[in-house]
Amino acid sequence: MVNEVAKGGDSLSSSSKANKLMTLKEAVSSYVKDGSSITFGGFIGRDCLAAVHEIIRQGVKDLLVIDDSKTDVIDMLVGAGCVRRWEGAYAGYGSIGLANNVRRAVERGIPFSVEMEDWSNAAVSMRFLAGGLNLPFMATRSMLGSDMIKYNSRIKVIDDPYSGTPVALVPAARPDVAIIHAQKADPMGNAQIWGFTGNDENKARAAKHTIITCEEIITTEQVRSQGNLTLIPFYCVDAVVQVPYACFPQSCYGYYAYDVLFCGDYHEMSKTREGFLSWLDRFVYGCKDHAEYCRQVGWKRLESMTRLERQFNRI
C-alpha cells in the first residue's frame, strides 16, 4: 500500500476494525477483481490453495501474479484462464516435474497466452521488501551477468554511487491483493506464523489489501501472550477467514504434511488439457466451497496428513 490511503481500516467502522472475520467467498469477491495484481503467501508450503479454488470459481480474469516460487497456485490459475501475466521466479513442481498448465499457456497459448517476466527469488524478495518499506526500489547482487537482465528492462544495472561497482536495482512490488495463510490469527487480523515465513511479512505490508486465511482463530489475548510470533500486524490486514486445510495438498507447518501423492495425481491429470479440466470439474467447480473440497479429498486422507505432521512438528 502506498502512503495516500492507509488500509486495514481507514474506511472501516470501529466494529469492523475489531472484527474483520468474513467468509472466503466474501473476502475474494471484495478484493480480487478482474485485472488485479495479486500475490500469495507461503513458499510452496503454506500457500492458500483454497483461495485459488475460490478465485477460479468466481471466474476472475486477467490477474497479474507477482510471486517468488509457486506450484499449484500458478499452475491452476493459469490453467483455469485467470492469469494474464506472471512476474516471478519459479513456476514448477519441484521433484515432480514441470508445471503443465504453465507450459501449455506459454508454449501454445492454451487456454490463453501468458506474459512471463523472469526474476530470481532473491530479486522478488527484494521487490517485496521495497514494497513493504514503501521504497521505490532495492538493490541486489543477483541476476548480474544473466539473461534475465537482457529480457527484463525493469532490472536496472547501475554503478553503486558509493563504491562504483555494479549492482542491480529492482522496482518495488505493490500488488492490489495479498492472500496469506497463517496458522493462527485473531479477528483484528494479527497473524501468527510458525515455520519458515517466506516473504509473507513484506507481502502483507506491500499489498493494498491483505486477506489472512488461517487454520485457527485465536483471541487477541492469546495474540498478546506471544507477540514475538505475530508476523503480520492487524493494520496490514483487511479480512480474516478461518479455512482449515486451506493449503492441502501442500503442507502447513504444525498442522498437516505435504500430500505428495495427491499432488502427483494432479500432475499426471494435468498433463493433458482434458485431464486438467476434469480435475477442475471434480475438485473446484464441483465443490461449492472449501468444506466440499475437503469432503471430496476425504477427511480421512486430510487427517492422515495431520497425523504425519504432528509426529514432527507441534505448535
Q: Which residue has the cell 524478495?
A: 125
41 binds another protein (CB under 8 A): no
Match 502512503 to its residue by C-alpha cell. 3
Q: Is 81 in the site for another protein (CB under 8 A)?
A: no
| Residue among 217 and 229 whose Cβ is closer to a copy of itself | 229
- The C-alpha cell at 19 is 472484527
Q: Which stretches of the chain bind a copy of itself, using CB under 8 A?
A: 130, 134-141, 154, 156, 158, 160-163, 165, 167, 169, 171-172, 193-195, 228-229
CB of 156 to a copy of itself, least distance (A): 6
* Cα dihedral 141, 147, 150, 156 in deg (nearest 10): -10
For residues 57 and 199, which CB has a smaller minimum distance to another protein in the complex?
199
> What 3-state class would DSSP assign to 194?
coil
If we measure between CA atoms, which residue out of 79, 31, 34 comes closest to residue 53? 79
- Rounded CA gap, 177 and 163, in Å? 37
CB contact at 8 A, 194 and 254: yes
Does 266 contact another protein by CB under 8 A?
no
Question: How many Cα atoms sit within 13 Å of 132 on the Cβ side?
Answer: 20
Closest to a copy of itself by CB, 95 vs 165, is: 165
Any idea what DSSP says for residue 283?
Answer: I
Q: What is the dihedral of CA 64, 137, 182, 228, to 10 degrees?
A: -170
162 interface partner picked from another protein, a copy of itself, none, CB below 5 to 8 A per type: a copy of itself
Binder of residue 36, out of another protein, a copy of itself, none (CB less than 5 to 8 A by kind): none
Total residues interacting with another protein, rule: CB under 8 A:
113
Shortest distance in whole angstroms from residue 117 CB to another protein: 10
Q: Quick one: which of 170, 296, 298, 196 has its CA closest to 254? A: 196
C-beta of 226: minimal distance to a copy of itself in Å?
A: 9
CB-count burial class (<10 Å; 0-12, 13-18, 19+) for 135: exposed
Cβ distance to another protein smaller for residue 8 or 57: 8
- Beta 115-118 vs 230-232: how paired, if at all? unpaired
Question: Nearest 5 degrees, angle CA 55-CA 287-CA 71?
Answer: 50
Residue 286 binds what, of a copy of itself, another protein, none (CB under 5 to 8 Å, by partner type)?
none
Residue 30 CB, nearest approach to another protein (Å): 20
Min CB(172)–a copy of itself separation in Å: 8
Q: Specify the residue, 153 or 311, whose C-beta has the smaller distance to another protein.
A: 311
Q: Which of residues 208-247 bind another protein (CB under 8 A)?
A: 220, 223-225, 227-228, 230, 233-236
Task: Kindly identify the residues of this chain, within the stretch 270-299, that bind another protein according to CB under 8 A.
Answer: none
Residue 51 C-beta: closest distance to a copy of itself, Å? 24
